[in-house]
Structure 1
Amino acid sequence: MDIEDGHDYESLGANSTMAQNAIAGAMAGIGEHCIMYPVDSIRTRMQVLSTPELGTAIKDASKKQLRNHKNLWKGVYSVIMGAGPAHAIHFAAYEFCKEKFNRKLASNTKIRAPGSSFEISNQLIASVLKQRMQLRDSTYRSVRECAKKVYANEGLRAFYISFPTTVSMSIPFQSVQFATYEYCRSRFDPEGAYNPKAHMMAGAVAGAIASSVTTPLDVVKTLLQTKGSSKDAEIKTCSGFREATNIIYNRHGIRGFFRGFKPRVLTNMPSTAISWSVYEYFKWFLASEEGDKFIDRI
């Protein structure tokens, strides 16, 4: 499938505007997170279980959550509010920096753009609200109610307590994801044409690998972000990364850092495939004549 205006698809990052990249990124972020939200809810609930028998806990949790599937969508609006703006900035920064770095290095090497810092700052609060509402015993009826109660009971610090862990997880996650995606994309589609199948396959591989290597940090992040809703005194008073790590290790050993591993990978494989597929499609569409008309209308 060729671009109508005659642009080489691989050069769309340079030919498309920052606004086009941002719109494509926003659509990708919303599509990615919303479609896989129920599976992500199961992953969150598995990671905060306090029972020492991990295998039994996972089976019991899955059965209960599937019977009450409507609750798996609680907090999805926080993702929509956070993912759209965050991914718009993320992908726009990625394309901008990749083009600048590639031009400077005068090579075809794919450079991972430092867009994760934008995404971290934009999505941190949304992530806290999302995970609080995903808990099985959550009583929050809306994102607004959740935000007000968390702030009233725990203060502003509750929204940023996992910031160091989030940074330490997001940087390697995004680095691995972008590098893997670009490599797989070049292998699956050497010509660099718009190829939905290649984008989806490359995204799935990138999501699986990136989520696998960062699961231990994700478990720590989940504990910190949900500690205010915990009935466990030790978890509730946990003050940071080191203490959270000690709690997980003392109770469950190394296996504790891989709680929710399967649903995390099963979430990130299709969600990353969806994200890149949607992004590449909108990037292609917005560079076409129809896309120009769409941009003019908005």
Structure 2
Amino acid sequence: MPELLEHDYEALPENSSLTANLIAGALAGIGEHAIMYPIDSIKTRMQIINPTPQAVYTGVANAFSRIYTTEGARTLWRGVNSVVLGAGPAHALYFGTYEMCKDLFGANQGEGHHPIAHGVAGACATIASDALMNPFDVIKQRMQVHGSIYKNVLECARTVYAREGMIAFYVSYPTTLTMTIPFQMVQFSSYEYFRKVLNPKGTYDPKTHMIAGGLAGAIAAAATTPLDVVKTLLQTRGNSSDIRVRNCNGLIEAFRIIYEKDGVKGFVRGIRPRVLSHMPSTAICWSVYEYFKWFITKHDRNKLPDKLHLSH
């Protein structure tokens, strides 16, 4: 009697298009950034060089309490529209590139772990997506800082462009890549490793994706915090009252400013809120992505030829 074979949803059916990954990636990106946005706002403020006295915080809880009581809950969500606008298309490009490169580099072939293939695929994905997302990230951080005068995303974009030119939106791009390429290589390799260890059969399992995503996000976030501090300095330089910071235009100079100001400890500023935001957000991102990939391709799997469903 013929029996139904399991089809691994991770290996997309031949009749499935790239659209599945693009839609799943877009929804995952919006969910990831929007849900954990207040923690990201706190992280940004804790990384600012020479903050105003009102914006000096002793920890995540202290920052949350002071912002909430003195500026209102809405302040924690300032700039979220920029993330929502950019995260959808950027993450669609991100996951679409990842799946395409993962297949190209042979990560879907055979059994076992392929950390190098997954890592390189993740690097390719982040180069593409960061080129699209970087301007939105600059706007987001300009609106997150204490005392931000911008009323909305459009006003912020216009003002930054008028005062600093297009370079302001991409001055941090090399630093962003320097950070996100190792971040994504660590994240993707860790995620695929934990996913396969926890779920060797490769079937859809929400708990596995949540745990693997959370662990991968925490590890990658902690490892790349120093570069994130540098990125924050470059992206918020226009808001600084320090002339040297305002004129900073590169990775090396930003490193030097941070080290001279706070020493080695300056490079771990904001590590707690960064890990606290990336651990659940990465878990959410992968969970949403895997769910929608499974959901969208479910229709395609049902249309597979009978020879793939049946064994004799």
Q: TM-score, normalised by structure 1?
A: 0.90
Counterpart of 1:125?
135
RMSD across aligned positions (CA): 2.4
CA distance 1:73–1:52, shift in 2 (3 Å): closer
- Aligned equivalents of 2:156, 2:209: Cα separation in 1: 37
Larger radius of gyration: 2
Counterpart of 1:101?
105
Matching residue within 218, 224, 230 for 2:234: 224
Counterpart of 2:36?
36
CA distance 1:135–1:25, shift in 2 (3 Å): same
CA distance 1:192–1:276, shift in 2 (3 Å): same
Counterpart of 2:153?
143
SS at match of 1:137: coil
Match status 1:82 vs 2:86: yes
CA distance 1:136–1:103, shift in 2 (3 Å): closer
**Runs ≥4 residues deviating over 4 A:** 103-108, 290-293
CA distance 1:215–1:104, shift in 2 (3 Å): closer
Deviations 1:229-279 (A, max 9, x none): 111222112221111111111111100001100000000000000000000
Matching residue within 183, 186, 202 for 2:196: 186
Count the aligned residue pairs: 288
How far the C-alpha of 1:97 sits from its partner, in A, is: 1.4
Match status 1:72 vs 2:76: yes
How far the C-alpha of 1:148 sits from its partner, in A, is: 0.3
Counterpart of 2:309?
none
Deviations 1:51-105 (A, max 9, x none): 699xx73345443223222101011111011111111011111111112222796
- Equivalent pair of 1:128/1:159 in contact (CA under 8 Å): yes
Counterpart of 1:63?
65
- Give the AA of the match of 1:279: Y
SS at match of 2:147: coil
CA distance 1:13–1:97, shift in 2 (3 Å): farther
Structure with more helix by fraction: 1
How far the C-alpha of 1:217 sits from its partner, in A, is: 0.2
CA distance 1:90–1:102, shift in 2 (3 Å): same
Q: Give me the identity figure in percent.
A: 52
Counterpart of 1:272?
282
How far the C-alpha of 1:163 sits from its partner, in A, is: 1.4
CA distance 1:14–1:125, shift in 2 (3 Å): farther
Deviations 1:145-172 (A, max 9, x none): 0000001111111111111111100100
- Give the AA of the match of 1:72: L
Counterpart of 1:169?
179
Q: TM-score, normalised by structure 2?
A: 0.86
- Give the AA of the match of 2:148: S
Match status 1:154 vs 2:164: yes
